[in-house]
Amino acid sequence: MSELINKTAIRKNFQWQLLTTVSALALLGAAYGTSQARADDDSDRPTVWIELGGQLSRLNDAEEAFSPSLMDGRSTQFSPFPNFEKMPQTSIDEAGSISFQPENSDWVFSAAIRYGRAISKTHVRQQTSPQAFISYRSGNRYAKYPSAEKFADTATLATEHHLIVDFQAGKDVGLGMFGKDSSSIFSLGLRFAQFGANSNIALKSNPDWHFDYKYFSGKNIPLGGTYHTNAATLLASRSFHGIGPSLSWNASAPFMGNGQNSEIALDWGLNAAFLFGRQRANVHYQTTGAYHTAKYNGPHYTKRHTTSHLSTDIPRSRTVMVPNVGGFAGLSFRYANAKVSFGYRADLFFGAMDGGIDKRKSENVGFYGPFANVSVGIGG
């Protein structure tokens, strides 16, 4: 009986050992297979991605309106001058980047550049059309035509350019948290930004033209007219150059496709930086006022009197720290070693530019709008 019990125990131990061994081999095989598949995936993954694209950016560039006191007498029937003194509203930015991820590594090294420029040109003239003065003498009709008219003339030429360069090193810490083949990359790096804006504004105004009269032979005879001619010009050049540390988070989560030949993914990201740099503004403006009086000495004519003249140069320079925040969201379509991305991106730089005239006035600079990129992967 004891011998039978021992044989039964031995048989059970053998079965348990066999089951344990088979399970262990199965686990090892699965682990090896997963590791081998991951290695195969890594071997197929491109090590270098080159990306080119563009963005239609809505610009958030502001400057103090040029409205010298000399122009305060402008006729109320005309729109104010500052209504037409606008910086460029949109620009088409060009962007490019290159990233490198070594084989069997979660580290990603990248460099990116974005450049854009825009121009705005405006010429608006508002004026009246005064009628001729009609008189009758000895049965004859006489017409005295106006020598001037009320007007307000605004001419502006404004340009803007911006350059942003990034160097970053990041690590994919996603570990599949957003699903298979997803990524979540945190990066540290350096951001360089350069902004520039130029303004050329010319204002002219005749605010109060009217006929003057001379009493002669019992009648009012119109003279050439009395009026002012006011003129003002502004030339301004503004810039910012800064560099500083940056932090970004870029993530991608596929939600459609087989992950090998093609897939569609949701992409998003956030970025922040602190830029230390120099802010400059060089402003020159000039105003001239003149008064034209009507005279009568045989022929009708007017005489010009200069009533005021001012010319001012104001250079400013200041060291500033500019916080920068931004983000994007979009979709990407990937097929083999190529990718097309669409989305919306925004970047805002707080207090980057000096938009003042007589004194410093801190203004934000922003770029936001839709973008499209095409990427090609090589290596692997």
Is the domain of 99 the same as that of 16? no
DSSP state of 261: S
Is the domain of 32 the same as that of 165? no
Q: What pTM did the predictor assign?
A: 0.78
Region for 351 from its dihedrals, namely left if φ exceeds 0, alpha if ψ lies in -120 to 50, beta otherwise: left
In this predicted structure, what is the pLDDT of residue 214?
A: 63
Is the domain of 282 the same as that of 364? yes
In this predicted structure, what is the pLDDT of residue 347?
A: 96
Which three-class secondary structure state does DSSP give residue 9? helix
Is the domain of 238 the same as that of 355? yes
Q: Are 185 and 172 in contact, with CB atoms under 8 Å apart?
A: yes
In this predicted structure, what is the pLDDT of residue 34?
A: 35
Is the domain of 11 the same as that of 77? no
User: What whole-number distance in Å separates Cα of residue 90 and Cα of residue 263?
Assistant: 33
Which are the contacts of 60, defined by CB distance < 8 A and separation ≥ 6? 348, 364, 365, 366, 367, 368
Number of domains forming the structure of the chain? 2
Which pair of structure tokens corresponds to residue 54?
A: 């563009």
Is the domain of 34 the same as that of 74? no
In this predicted structure, what is the pLDDT of residue 348?
A: 96
Is the domain of 89 the same as that of 148? yes
In this predicted structure, what is the pLDDT of residue 176?
A: 59
In this predicted structure, what is the pLDDT of residue 369?
A: 96
Query: In CATH, what number is assigned to the domain containing residue 340?
Result: 2.40.128
User: What whole-number distance in Å separates Cα of residue 54 and Cα of residue 373?
Assistant: 7
Is the domain of 218 the same as that of 75? yes
The domain boundary, picked from 9, 29, 44, lies at: 44
In this predicted structure, what is the pLDDT of residue 14?
A: 40
User: What whole-number distance in Å separates Cα of residue 80 and Cα of residue 154?
Assistant: 10
In this predicted structure, what is the pLDDT of residue 68?
A: 87
In this predicted structure, what is the pLDDT of residue 310?
A: 86
User: What whole-number distance in Å separates Cα of residue 62 and Cα of residue 84?
Assistant: 13
Is the domain of 141 the same as that of 209? yes
How far is C-alpha 239 from the chain's CA centre? 14
Q: What is the pLDDT along the chain (380 residues), one digit of tens a residue?
A: 334 334 444 444 444 443 444 344 333 343 333 334 344 445 567 899 999 999 999 998 778 888 888 887 776 777 777 777 888 889 999 999 999 999 888 899 999 999 999 999 999 888 877 666 666 666 666 666 665 678 888 999 999 999 999 999 999 887 656 666 778 999 999 999 999 999 999 998 888 776 666 666 656 666 666 777 889 999 999 999 999 999 999 999 988 877 666 889 999 999 999 999 999 999 999 999 888 776 655 445 567 777 778 889 999 999 999 999 999 999 999 887 899 999 999 999 999 999 999 999 999 999 999 999 999 999 76
Closest CA to 273 of 369, 180, 182, 193: 193
Is the domain of 84 the same as that of 21? no
Q: Which residues pair with 278 in a beta bridge?
A: 241, 319
In this predicted structure, what is the pLDDT of residue 128?
A: 78
Is the domain of 32 the same as that of 173? no
SS (H, E, C) 89-123: CEEEEEEEEEEECCCCCCEEEEEEEEEEEEEEEEE
Which three-class secondary structure state does DSSP give residue 370? strand
Range of the domain at 38: 1-44
Question: Buried (b) or exposed (e) across 245-264, using 16+ Cβ within 10 A?
Answer: ebbbbbbbbbeeeeeeeebe
In this predicted structure, what is the pLDDT of residue 65?
A: 86
User: What whole-number distance in Å separates Cα of residue 152 and Cα of residue 149?
Assistant: 10
Is the domain of 272 the same as that of 359? yes
User: What whole-number distance in Å separates Cα of residue 350 and Cα of residue 320?
Assistant: 11
